[in-house]
Amino acid sequence: MNISIHPCSWPYSTSACSLQLTIIAFDELRTDFKNPIDQCNPVHARERLRNIERICFLLRKLVLPEYSIHSLFCIMFLCAQEWLTLGLNVPLLFYHFWRYFHCPADSSELAYDPPVVMNADTLSYCQKEAWCKLAFYLLSFFYYLYCMIYTLVSS
Amino acid sequence: MSAPAGSPHPAASSRIPPKLGGAAASGAAAPAGPGPGPHQQNGPAQNQMQVPSGYGLHPQSYIAPSGHYSQGPGKMTSLPLDSQCDDYYSGLYRVPTQNVVTPNTASQQPGAQQMYGSVPPAPHVVGSTLGSFQGAGSSASHLHTSASQPYSSFVNRYNSPAMYSANSSVAAQGFPSTCGHYALSTVSNAAYPSVSYPSLPAGDPYGQQMFTSQNAPTVRPVRDNSFSGPSTAISHPSPLPPPPSQQYHQQQSLSGYSTFAWSASGLPSTQDNLIQNHTSLATANNPTNPVADTLSCSVMQNVQPPKSSPVVSAVLSGASSTRTPPAAGRPVEPLASVARPSELLQQKGMQYGEYVNNQASSAPTPLSSTSDDEEEEEEDEEAGVDSSSTTSSASPMPNSYDALEGGSYPDMLSSSASSPAPDPAPEPDPAPAPAPAAPQPSKMAKPFGYGYPTLQPGYQNATAPLNSGVPPSSPMYSGFQQYAQQYPGMNQLSSSLGGLNLQSSSQPESLRPVNLTQERNILPMTPVWAPVPNLNLDLKKLNCSPDSFRCTLTNIPQTQALLNKAKLPLGLLLHPFRDLTQLPVITSNTIVRCRSCRTYINPFVSFIDQRRWKCNLCYRVNDVPEEFMYNPLTRSYGEPHKRPEVQNPTVEFIASSDYMLRPPQPAVYLFVLDVSHNAVEAGYLTILCQSLLENLDKLPGDSRTRIGFMTFDSTVHFYNLQEGLSQPQMLIVSDIDDVFLPTPDSLLVNLYESKELIKDLLNALPNMFTNTRETHSALGPALQAAFKLMSPTGGRVSVFQTQLPSLGAGLLQSREDPNQRSSTKVVQHLGPATDFYKKLALDCSGQQTAVDLFLLSSQYSDLASLACMSKYSAGCIYYYPSFHYTHNPSQAEKLQKDLKRYLTRKIGFEAVMRIRCTKGLSMHTFHGNFFVRSTDLLSLANINPDAGFAVQLSIEESLTDTSLVCFQTALLYTSSKGERRIRVHTLCLPVVSSLADVYAGADVQASICLLANMAVDRSISSSLSDARDALVNAVVDSLSAYGSTVSNLQHSGLIAPSSLKLFPLYILALLKQKAFRTGTSTRLDDRVYAMCQIKCQPLVHLMKMIHPNLYRVDRLTDEGAIHVNDRVVPQPPLQKLSAEKLTRDGAFLMDCGSVFYIWIGKSCDNNFIEDVLGYPNFASIPQKMTHLPELDTLSSERARSFITWLRDNRPLNPILHVVKDESPAKTEFFQHLIEDRTEAAFSYYEFLLHVQQQICK
């Protein structure tokens, strides 16, 4: 028990952090100036577009680390024969695999495509996904903490 | 900069990017010094293999030595090194020895400014006259009242039919009044400083009827004069014929026309008048706003900014430094440096003479090209105008762009007498052509022409405001009816139009259950019209035309749950920038908008009292600004509800300077042309250059319009067209890995200043590359260069490509497997192969540049990847499969016609479109070509009148507390005249709570178009078979939902509400459409192109593509014919798309949107063949026939007028194919018979059975 759970706290926090970042990024995406005059301004248009691209780029960079950290954990749980914890994580693992390999046909990009991301349904889906995962990571973080302390105390 | 010049390149082995910036900064790039050997290799642009190595060594040599062209592409040149450098410029083209005179724009500016400054702050505007002209074109009646009539009587006239008496004097009277504006304007200002009301609200409705056509001619001269009126005030140089103007003045005094001046904006003619007018406009519109002046000035300055001069010099010097050290020393004057080399070596220039017209001797004369007097254009637009003398000014919008544009920023060039004026001719022409829409005026006139039913002002009586007070569940019509009844005028109206009233009849009819399996002739005989929302009569009349704005459900369900139950898609189909025959243009200082949601005031807001209005989208109560209280239509104060904004669902505002943070951009056009062997072989250059030459003067734009050309094969070629050169200069950049602009500021040149050079180039281009053997195509680098060239201003890039890009960035591989063309399984490669084009498009979009793609290729060219460049930059895509100018004349003809339309149609730059909807609804997915900038804002670098959009909606909150929902599209764009304009469409729909009502209001065509868009997305993101399944499911779900909930009758058959009876048919048509069909051999590019079209075509055109119309044409009669422009157009009934309708003794016309087929049966009546086709019998009809001869027989006349009528107003000029029954081309024709069974797909009846089976499952 000890082996697997002890180190998990820090990577988990990174994972959660990246999620947090994702959420902030989406929020930034969603926020646009309501000021119509600003909207019409071509300069603003350029900035806005750069922003969107920048955020998408950032998001894409975050995807792989997050997925790999999570799968690393799953492997560790597997090695430690923590079946329950593994069971909790497997659905998310599969989801990640699906997300990763089920990218739009022929596109070399993973997700978060600038032209598409601003579509309200895509955006809200991504946002919801991020919130859910954040909640999951936080809960599991405390669960691992609890397990760790429990094993420390009991042993 | 020149310091390092001459020194050997510091790091020969290291790559120094030859970027402009880099070169400028280091100066090191420039130094090529008398180059060592490698340098030379680099030079010949043709030799691509050597490029990389040579490049590293000597960056300066990207510019290929001029020599190579003359020598022929294939050859490697081995020129002596040193001479090569020298040759470069001189060799390319001979540069005129005389010094280039650049038009000194700067000096003129002050003058221009002064002019503006001196303009009396008349609120007036130009456009008014415009309107009247347009009116002239249309029908004869008219109500014009003389100016002197008391207003009240005038008002009455609107309501009484009697007023439509022809009044021959109208024109004259009307005009003067315009003139009057000018004089009066100051007065009005004094009285009501803030009000300037240039546009005519009521006018447009009436406009159509106002002027008789005879009046038109008389009007014209008048118009000029009237304009000159203001000009004199401004001390404009234009001659003013005294008599008319006097007349005007008299009139104006006569009229005693009140303090306000307004005018319609939108003068169809560009010329001087315009300019003058604009001048006045600019100031007039913003009397309070001094900014206008400065703005316009700044615009001018921007026209030719002293482009990063250091850079330029660096580059130039890079090119020429070795040869002419002195040139390098002059950083700021590119021109000078260019000229220098030429002096040194002129002998090379001779070689180039062949492709460049030898005009070296003729000094460029910028001034000569067009004279200012060309104002006499014939503008025939029909458009109504208001009687400007009587009331307000509204300008019905003519189709032509000019008319649309008030064009507010006078160009200094045009204002100075010496400079070439923009050619007036262009505009009028395009106008009639694109949107003759003859039937429309009459249609439109009706609703508008009668009276002004308006929303009741809440303060006038106790009736509840629109949005409140009507119990949600009860049908609101009754409520409104009541409402209307209180107004006698309304009553009259409704009784007179009683026939149109669908209130009672529509519901049962659209809900009538139809047993699809038993109904044999499901297709109606007449074209399917959009269902009319079930609103009360006056609201109905105020509603947006279904041509521009349509919703898939004309009865909006109250909740998402209800919508889910109905299983119908909810969304909007938009055609926002459609050519309109009339459009009220409003110029006022303050554009009234809701303070919280920024909705523009529209016909569906409610006025709570005289000073407040309630937004119909967010329900906020706003104040009515003082200016808005004055109603120019009635010339009375305190009637905001009668303002044109509140009377018309589609209006256009001229935006004040608040709406722009940078000066409006000029119209900028860049043509990027493929000149590889393949392209030359196909021969499109001839057609393009010819079309451009013909339409050069008609390109939308003002005197700031700029144009540029680039060509590419394995290298990228630029053309220096700077005014003052005697010939166009070709600059070749062979470094395609890091392409740069050789002379950034002389590649895009002012159309009018450099017109001669441009014409020379266009004449020379088709023959310049005839012997090329270059087969590669460096499209990516060319696009990058185009992007760099366009990024300072934005504009439109037109790319002509004939093959798969094979070099540099963005190169593509063939992905199509011909054996898979008819596969029923998986269709791959519908998405892009690379992100290069998408990224480029996004960059372009950020710089307000749109990329339009013309793909003319005979082989697979990976349109799926290439299309991205247009998709995300709001461009448009044209595809001409197997294009060849001789082998495939019909395609060539199509290209020619498309180009004509493309070059002359309206265009809006740096546009954004925002769609708003009533609180509770939200939009999620958008379809079309654009970039989604925020959840409800589309960024459109360009907008063209042929672009359609679709939006999917969802219902987030229950709409129980409202009975109406509204949608508003606001399109803010810069017109080609450099004006910021906002076009606003507002659509109002009722909310219903029962499922039956939802079905009753379903708009089957809109639903199909939305579904098609969704299916395209699905097939790209998932797979084609998924998309097909989804389409079938759409019909299965909706019909089963209807069967289980609404119709309680348990039939054995397949039951659909009457409103949806065509749903399965259209879905089947979609499944057999090129985009979605499987099992039939379809080339990948064809399929992708069909998908692109589905995404960006407006509904009307898309429907033709999905479900063609079939007519029998061998027995056309005048029965039911309509009259259009004095022609009688027969209206044969629609036939269903099935071979059973094709009889051997008939001839049938199929209208597929982009192509027409005439199928001639084997035993077709010889009379028909002889009279219409001009051949004695069936056997003698040739296999390829694309025109109907003009024969002097009745049946020929009928057939031709019918076809012309069908052709009118199409963005894609359909080509006519005459298909004989036994010719091989008939498969083309038969594949459109969608009701028939094919080897791979269901027949209609089978499909119904399939659907029924699915439902029963």
More confident residue, B132 or B801: B801
- Select the residue of A39, A50, A105 nearest B846 (Cβ to Cβ): A50
Q: Which of A34, A42, A105 lies at the smallest CB-CB distance from B1020? A: A105
Q: Which among A49, A105, A106 is the nearest to B933, CB-wise? A: A49
Three-state SS at B933: strand
Q: What pLDDT sits at residue B978?
A: 86
Question: In the numeric block, which tokens belong to residue B114?
Answer: 């002064």
C-alpha distance from B24 to closest chain A C-alpha (Å):
25
Q: Give the distance from residue A112's alpha carbon to the nearest chain B alpha carbon, in angstroms.
A: 13
On whether any CB of chain B is under 8 Å from the CB of A62, the answer is no
Residues of chain A found within 8 Å of residue B838, distances taken between Cβ atoms:
115
pLDDT for the residue numbered B977? 87
Containing H/E element for B1112?
A: strand B1109-1112
Contact B1229, B1219 (CB under 8 A): yes
In whole angstroms, what is the distance from residue B612 CA to residue B234 CA? 39
The band of B985, judged by pLDDT with boundaries at 50, 70 and 90, is very high
Domain range list for chain A = 13-101+117-154
Under the banding of pLDDT at 50, 70 and 90, the label for residue B1009 is: very high
Tokens 């009697």 correspond to: B162
pLDDT at site B384 = 32
Q: A92 vs chain B: nearest CA distance in angstroms?
A: 22
The pLDDT of B413-433, averaged and rounded, is 35
**pLDDT tens per residue, range B603-662:** 998 888 878 899 988 888 998 888 888 877 777 787 777 888 888 899 999 987 777 767
The whole-angstrom separation of Cα B1011 and Cα B950 is 10
Rounded to the nearest angstrom, the minimum Cα separation between A114 and chain B is 8
Percentage above 70 pLDDT, chain A? 60
Which residues 6+ apart lie within 8 Å of B184 measured at CB? B122, B124, B252, B257, B259, B260, B261
Q: Which of A115, A105, A121 is nearest to B1023 (CA)?
A: A105
> Which chain B residues are Cβ-neighbours of A43 within 8 angstroms?
661-662
* ipTM of this complex prediction, to 2 decimal places: 0.72
CA-nearest residue of chain A to B872? A115
pTM of the model: 0.66
- B799: which strand partners? B672, B853
Say if residues B394 and B585 touch (Cβ distance below 8 Å). yes
* Contact state of A119 with B926 under an 8 Å Cβ cutoff: yes
Residue B1120 to residue B450: CA distance in whole angstroms: 26
Confidence of residue B508 (pLDDT cuts 50, 70, 90): low
User: Looking at beta carbons, which residues of chain B come within 8 Å of A26?
Assistant: none
Q: DSSP readout, A92-119?
A: HHHHHHHHHH-PPTT----S--HHHHTS
Using CA atoms, how far apart are residues B63 and B733, in angstroms rounded to an integer?
5
Cα B977–B979–B980 angle (5° rounding)? 145
State how far the Cα of B747 lies from the Cα of B725, in Å rounded to an integer.
12
**Candidates B659, B845, B1020; nearest CB to A40:** B659
Cβ contact, residue pair B830, A106, below 8 Å: yes
- Tens of pLDDT, residue by residue over B1206-1249, are 887 676 678 888 888 877 778 888 888 888 888 778 899 999 99
Across the interface, whether the CB atoms of A45 and B935 are under 8 A apart is answered no
Q: How far, in Å, are B57, B385, B443, B444, B1078 from residue B582 at the CA level? A: 62, 9, 12, 9, 44
Q: Residues of B with CB below 8 A from A98's CB?
A: none
Please name the residues between 28 and 47 in chain A that touch chain B, using a CB distance below 8 Å: 30, 32, 34, 36-46
Of A6-20, B695-709, B965-979, B1175-1189, the poorest mean pLDDT is in A6-20
Highest mean pLDDT among B385-399, B416-430, B784-798, B1162-1176: B784-798
B980, B659 contact by CB (below 8 A): yes
Query: What digits encode the pLDDT tens for the residues B234-258?
Result: 333 334 344 443 444 444 333 333 3
Do the Cβ atoms of B1021 and A105 come within 8 Å? yes
CA–CA distance, B15 with B285 (Å, rounded to integer): 56
Secondary structure (3-state) at B612: strand
Q: Which contiguous run of DSSP H or E holds residue B917? A: strand B908-917
Q: How far apart are CA B720 and CA B609, in angstroms?
A: 63
**Average per-residue pLDDT in chain B?**
67
Q: How large a percentage of chain B has pLDDT more than 90?
A: 19
Measured between CA atoms, how close is A82 to chain B, in angstroms?
Answer: 37
Positive or negative torsion for Cα A133, A136, A142, A145: negative
Min Cα separation A69/chain B (Å):
28
Residues in A 103-132 with any Cβ partner in B closer than 8 A: 104-109, 114-116, 118-124
pLDDT band for B85, please (50, 70, 90 cuts). Answer: very low
* B711-749 core/surface letters (b: 16 or more CB in 10 A; e: else): bbbbbbbbbbbbbbbbbbbbbbbbbbbbbbbbbbbbbbb
Range from B988-992, B1056-1060, B1125-1129 carrying the lowest mean pLDDT: B1125-1129
User: Are B933 and A45 an interchain contact pair (Cβ–Cβ within 8 Å)?
Assistant: yes
The mean per-residue pLDDT over the stretch B402-408 comes to 35
CB within 8 Å: B912 and A52: no
Distance from CA of B915 to the nearest CA of A (A): 12
- pLDDT recorded at residue B497: 37
Nearest to A37 among B658, B832, B934 (CB): B658
The whole-number pLDDT of residue A129 equals: 84
pLDDT of B1031? 94
Question: Distance between CA atoms of B527 and B1122, rounded to whole angstroms?
Answer: 14
Mutation target for B interface from A38, A106, A128: give the one with most B CBs within 10 A: A106
Report the half-sphere exposure of B733 (CA within 13 A, side-chain side): 31
Mutate to test the interface with A, among B934, B952, B1013, B1022 (most CBs of A within 10 A): B934
Reported as a pLDDT band with limits 50, 70 and 90, residue B426 is very low
Q: How far is A99 from chain B (nearest CA, A)?
A: 13
Average pLDDT over residues B732-745: 88
pLDDT at site A12: 59
Select from A32, A34, A40, A119 the residue whose CB has the most chain B CBs within 10 Å, as the one to mutate to test that interface: A40
Task: List the structure tokens of B723.
Answer: 């005014």
Confidence grade of residue B908 (pLDDT, cut at 50, 70, 90): very high
DSSP-derived letter for residue B651 is E
| Predicted confidence (pLDDT) at residue B785 exceeds the cutoff of 60 | yes
Please answer yes or no on whether B662 and A34 come within 8 Å at the CB atom: no
Rounded distance between C-alpha atoms, residue A35 and residue A2, angstroms: 55
Q: CA of B972: which chain A residue's CA is closest?
A: A40
Chain A residue with Cα closest to B660? A41
B1000, B994, B991, B997: which is closest to B511 by C-alpha?
A: B1000
Taking only residues 64 to 93 of chain A, the set having a beta carbon closer than 8 angstroms to any beta carbon of chain B reads none
Q: What is the pLDDT of residues A50-103, one digit of tens each?
A: 777 777 777 777 778 888 888 888 888 888 888 888 888 899 888 888 877 765
pLDDT band at B158 (very low <50, low <70, confident <90, very high): very low
Spatial CA neighbour of B1213 closest among B986, B976, B911, B901: B901
With beta carbons under 8 A apart, name residues in chain A contacting B661: 37-38, 40-44
Check B660 against A41: CB less than 8 A apart: yes
